[in-house]
Amino acid sequence: MPTFSLLPEPEAIMLLEKNQLPYPENGYAKSSDEAIEFANKIGYPVVLKIVSNDVIHKSDIGGVKTNLQTPGDVHRAFIDIYTNLLEHIPNAKFDGILVCKQAETGIELIVGGIQDVMFGPCLMVGLGGIFAEVLRDVSFRIIPFKKIDAIEMLQELKGYSILLGVRGGEKADIDALAEFLVKISTFLFENPWIMEVDFNPVRIKGNKITILDARIFY
């Protein structure tokens, strides 16, 4: 199996922004003072996320702190994240902290892509967040594809009714979500140096879609 390198998330975010792919307003801090400065600029509440290529799943080591409301919260969260890294992976390199505007609540999806040796570039979408690996409710397409293909992908999901607002739940804008998937497919097709992407979660609230965590391998 080939071994890919992980693009540091600050660089991944720059790549997303260059391609008009939505990510929360953010700043990259190397100290708690810098993190507070960015949080004050962005506006509360904010989320802090560890930046370290030695950490693949940030939440597993306590590398994410959410709903931070004050400068004191940010300072304590910065120290906690650094301490958690030392406890779980003592030899890991600590590159800093991402300070992100906290996104609105909504429906969470996972969107992934890979350069498959047999089929070429493929895109996957499924129900996301912390349940992605448990539910395994996903759909695949070879890319690039059109909007009608993206809609069919979504309709193939067992949890499609969740997107439609089942039992009074909030309804996602299927049209906007399909356009977002087409944009991701184009992004991967036009950047063949990218071997794999994992966007989990992608949160949708109405027609507003935001990538909340971006892992890009090359």
pLDDT for 15 equals 97
CATH for 91: 3.30.1490.20
Q: Which residues make Cβ contacts (< 8 Å) with residue 124, sequence separation at least 6? A: 110, 111, 112, 113, 114, 138, 139, 140
Domain count, the chain: 2
**Whole-model pTM over 0.75:** yes
Whether residue 128 is found in the same domain as residue 96: no
Domain boundary among the residues 72, 101, 130 is at 101
Give the separation between CA 159 and CA 137, rounded to whole angstroms: 7
Give the separation between CA 113 and CA 122, rounded to whole angstroms: 6
Whether residue 58 is found in the same domain as residue 88: yes
Whether residue 92 is found in the same domain as residue 120: no
Give the separation between CA 57 and CA 11, rounded to whole angstroms: 17
Whether residue 113 is found in the same domain as residue 97: no
pLDDT for 2 equals 60
pLDDT for 168 equals 80
Whether residue 38 is found in the same domain as residue 92: yes
Residue 36 in any domain: the answer is yes
Residue 146 in any domain: the answer is yes
Whether residue 47 is found in the same domain as residue 115: no
Give the torsion through C-alpha atoms of 53, 200, 96, 12, to 10 deg: 70
pLDDT for 169 equals 83
pLDDT for 146 equals 97
Domain boundary among the residues 101, 132, 162 is at 101
Whether residue 83 is found in the same domain as residue 113: no
By the 8 A CB rule, do 26 and 41 touch? no
Domain boundary among the residues 101, 132, 149 is at 101
Domain that holds residue 83: 25-101
pLDDT for 138 equals 93
Residue 79 in any domain: the answer is yes
Residue 212 in any domain: the answer is yes
Residue 2 in any domain: the answer is no
pLDDT for 151 equals 98
CATH for 187: 3.30.470.20
Residue 20 in any domain: the answer is no
Give the separation between CA 26 and CA 24, rounded to whole angstroms: 6
Per-residue pLDDT of the chain (218 residues; tens, 9 = 90+): 467 899 999 999 999 999 999 999 999 999 999 999 999 999 999 999 999 989 988 999 999 999 999 999 999 999 999 999 999 999 999 999 999 999 999 999 999 999 988 889 999 999 876 556 666 789 999 999 999 999 999 999 998 999 999 888 889 999 999 999 999 999 999 999 999 999 999 999 999 999 999 999 99
pLDDT for 129 equals 61
